[in-house]
Chain A
């Protein structure tokens, strides 16, 4: 049940432009309203693509390359084509005939290059799991049976699996590109060598990060329904960005934009995995066009592991120069990352490395920075943007080297951070790499964190434990986070991805509200947040607000969900459209009541007298009159009970947020097992619209970060075979191993919007791995052991301890 909260009166004086954004109304905004859709989902009444049944539905499965790199000599599908239930078997050329290929590059990532990619491999497969043949049948089981009858003759080619070997460029994966470097980027503020030469201390470390992936409860899935009679395409898709997909389908299949519709139902988790253009999904659309009937594809768990994007395979060497007093003088970084055989379309696989360069050292106030990053091709699954893109790498590199410097100088890590974090009164502030911060709260967050975790007490506990031969450690990780991205993220590079979002708010005849928003929902509660905002602005109770998202035929145009933008950008669009509607409702009320609009307000589902608070007219009555008896309104008055507004951040490229996390662990030095005893996160996402949902986002994000730190890795052999492509061996974090995660917030609303909300969805994932790494190393410090390669498996810890 939705909690009802009293709506304060007068709730919402219309804000003048430039008014203090922190004065956003407080009613539902700021209250921990539970998600109305949670009940539906928990009762099993969600609708996922797998639940959809339409007449004449066919099912497609893919024969995927069993090799990391192989030439396709011959495909014999003659037996499979005649197998029971089979409707069609298609190879690369058959699909390419109706679908234009793509290249995952963007103009603002200077020099990025990649090769043409097709829905199904043509002539050559470049990773184990690349789709090669599509088999469509009446049932999924029949399609899988037929798949076993296909014979492919392969000529196995040498696979590039190691990133250093790839960099050396022998062989070159795509000869037409000249070398294996997909993208490289450098930043240099100048003078770094002198700074290092003159520093009191210089510390250096190499950090390694295992590949992992975002494991969505609902696998990737799509149901494509091509209608030949009108050359139209309806696609039911489990995606984060329906308008982006809409545009891609229209262009690559030459179908007029107006004849495409992308519809999302419930999306069972996405984490960035479902914001890309996947060959098998595009191929599903192609088979629907070729067969002129609806075709469904649902990725099963095993194929998800070799076809959902991976992320974060990095090796970074970082140096930090400091003075005796702990002042950080400069940071020098070299990062190498392997992205698979292609840059992903349309967002590219260059962004993660780019973010590492942008964000490393970000919380601190040193003035010298040099970084060089290279992203190289390999014959493993493609990598791309997964929750917190680049942040977990940058934060671990930064916080790992900061802890090492603190240790070398004998300064407590909390104190070391206090001395170096950008002071809260230093804003606006430009970081040496060029990014600009509007207003951050590092010092406040640090204070709050130390108080929340009772730092001194934990240090005492740690000392007492050590006396008993028990090794406990504390790890801190400060961070900055990119949220509310403007067009600077993709649009400027030529990507047809909207950074602007829109909302339409409509008053229905019963006084209910319908909100249509281009930002989508994947389980994080975005729709609840929109309902809260609309309810507050219009004085309507939450139960009477219905939110519709994820339908390109219904909602305004927009970017969807990615980059921690849903609440900050979509929420502001809802706020502005609700404000516009509010003014229109008051116009109608003034017309009905023959009074001055300025005397009226709206609260508790009714138009009220602004001064006395007396009810003048219920919204239901207003709706009835405007819709059914417009004849009774004053001559010449036309009511408009719907409004649409859009929002895109313009003042800053990104609304940076900040935060800090702490991890408290115990390491069993005989077994190398790490027990997570506690985790804390204090972050500043500006206005907290719904503390319950923000905390859920933080906790969920932290858990994914803990998975990265301790458990998750896509393990490959040197032939490019993924060895753990199922949930038995790919270890996701589970509840029993998770610590309590305590969240707190400092609120520094962004002045770039009236709502003041910044993103929160990726903060947990960004900082958790670094906090755990530092905690483990803090525990191991008396034994002079360190770990730097994630995930920190028992074996790696034992090896660091010299026990195996």
Chain B
């Protein structure tokens, strides 16, 4: 398993990396943590002529707070997010999800930008970002733009990012009082991509749920926002009827395809089980 030959450049600043991307277009691939890309290269599933290593570009890594957002640099590793006190305070959902991503060795290298760019529907960060209504900062030579996570993911491994653009940061809206959150997933072994997973956010006031957001992992071609289930729960006390309605709404919200070991029907069943468990945990 050896990759096809390629040229490698280690970019020292963002402009250089963007210029290289402009020049080589589809022939180039950005190399971040390499935890997805290197495997695809070795399996010859991808054979770019150029690898542009962005890991030495200053300013793309780290977690900061602005007036309005929690900002996570694209090169921030899964592990840094898992351990961050700022994340624990302002977006605890991410801290809850992080331990489910692969194994420690992979979390030490893999980056959130890489995960968002790769857009695996079974990955944790994309679904969390959708639930958190995060936005992505995307840079091209021509300038910078921001895209909502809820519109960024367009199809299977297909995103709004053009080949010449680099994701530089993930911005998560600051809330005066952060919502409660629960992250749950079902994977047959620790560290595997989930069969299905759920990211749930909401406030609980006297047993009633509000500001509910539900993101799903592995339940469609992209990370999904379960809007029907959200509507079913919003403003309600999650009794058996409400839960049943929310679970029923998932039939519309989700569109899982089968995998080797699970049919779409099994995934739908598991997604509903997770929803009920997540809501109960949020209320607990």
Contacts and interface: CB of A to CB of B under 8 A. Distances in A.
Interface majority SS (helix, strand, loop, mixed), chain A: loop
B260 A798 contact: no
Contact of B2 (A144, A671, A724): A144
A804 B2 contact: no
B83 to A, nearest CB: 20
A798 B189 contact: no
B262 A794 contact: yes
Interface stretch (B168-176, B213-221, B264-272): B264-272
Contact of A140 (B2, B5, B195): B2
Contacts of B260: 715, 723-724, 729
Interface in A652-688: 670-671, 673
A734 to B, nearest CB: 5
Given A731-B188, A731-B192, A798 B266 contact: yes
Nearest to A300: B1
Nearest to B195: A794
A804 B266 CA distance: 6
Contacts of B3: 141
B266 A673 contact: no
A804 B263 contact: yes
Nearest to B39: A728
Nearest to B192: A731
Contacts of A736: 189-191
Interface in A105-160: 140-141, 144-145, 148
Contacts of A794: 186, 188, 195, 261-262, 266, 270
A71 interface: no
A719 interface: no
A302 B262 CA distance: 23
A737 interface: yes
A793 interface: yes
B85 interface: no
B198 to A, nearest CB: 13
Contacts of B189: 711, 731, 733-734, 736-737
B4 interface: yes
Nearest to B273: A670
Interface residues of B, number: 23
A795 B261 contact: yes
Nearest to A59: B2
B273 to A, nearest CB: 5
A736 B102 CA distance: 13
A544 interface: no
B38 interface: no
Contacts of B44: 144, 148
B43 interface: yes
Chain A interface size, as a band, is: 20 to 34
B270 A301 contact: no
Nearest to B276: A670
A673 to B, nearest CB: 7
Nearest to B268: A804
A803 interface: yes
Contacts of A795: 261-263, 266
A145 B270 contact: no
Contacts of A144: 1-2, 44
Contacts of A804: 263, 265-266, 269
Interface string B32-67: 000000000001100000000000000000000000
Nearest to B277: A670
Interface string A693-723: 0000000000000000011000100000001
A738 to B, nearest CB: 10
B43 A671 contact: no
A85 B270 CA distance: 52
Contacts of B261: 793-795
A303 to B, nearest CB: 9
Given A145-B5, A795-B262, A671 B270 contact: yes
B175 to A, nearest CB: 32
B273 A711 contact: no
Contacts of B273: 670-671
A206 B2 CA distance: 44
Contacts of B265: 804
Contacts of B43: 302, 726
A148 B4 CA distance: 10
Contact of A145 (B4, B188, B195): B4
Nearest to A735: B190
Interface string B184-208: 0010111110010000000000000
A302 to B, nearest CB: 7
B269 A711 contact: no
B2 A803 contact: no
Nearest to B1: A300
Interface string A199-218: 00000000000000000000
Nearest to A144: B2
B2 A673 contact: no
A141 B269 contact: no
26 contacts: A140-B2, A141-B2, A144-B44, A145-B4, A145-B5, A300-B1, A301-B1, A302-B1, A671-B186, A671-B273, A673-B186, A726-B43, A729-B260, A731-B188, A731-B189, A734-B191, A736-B189, A736-B190, A737-B189, A793-B262, A795-B261, A795-B262, A795-B266, A798-B269, A803-B269, A804-B266
Interface of B: 1-5, 43-44, 186, 188-192, 195, 260-263, 265-266, 269-270, 273
The 7 closest A-B pairs by CB, nearest first: A141-B2, A736-B190, A300-B1, A670-B273, A795-B266, A804-B266, A144-B2
